[in-house]
Amino acid sequence: MTLVLRVLLLFVLVLLALRAAGRFIGGVAAGAGAGAGARPRSRPGEPPVKMARDPVCGTFVVPGKALSATSGGTTEWFCSETCRDTFARRG
């Protein structure tokens, strides 16, 4: 093997290695960027709307969709009629 061929072969190998490394690093950076950069305002498990708490059983319900009862000027939200009845009976 001549020196020119050896250098050429080395050059090609280095080039391939750099390309592979670049692709690897790029992929890792893209993955890390997607994880850290695209940060949503609220976490996935966290509801975007403000939740109301069922005063009877403590379940969080969506105001407006849940059952409600007004007592003393404040509106309470309930997960079920059972909880609402319990609250009403308690007074």
Which residues contribute to the site for Zn ion (CB under 5 A)?
54, 56-57, 59, 79, 83
Measured from the CB atom, the residue of 51 and 57 that comes closer to Zn ion is 57
For residue 53, the minimal CB distance to Zn ion (Å) is 9
How many Å separate Cα 2 from the centre of its chain? 59
Measured from the CB atom, the residue of 9 and 76 that comes closer to Zn ion is 76
Take residue 84 and report the two structure tokens written for it.
């609402």
Take residue 76 and report the two structure tokens written for it.
């309470």
For residue 68, the minimal CB distance to Zn ion (Å) is 12
Take residue 11 and report the two structure tokens written for it.
């050059």
For residue 64, the minimal CB distance to Zn ion (Å) is 16
Measured from the CB atom, the residue of 42 and 57 that comes closer to Zn ion is 57
**Whole-number Å distance between alpha carbons of 33 and 11:** 32
| Other residues' Cβ atoms within 10 Å of the Cβ of residue 58 | 9
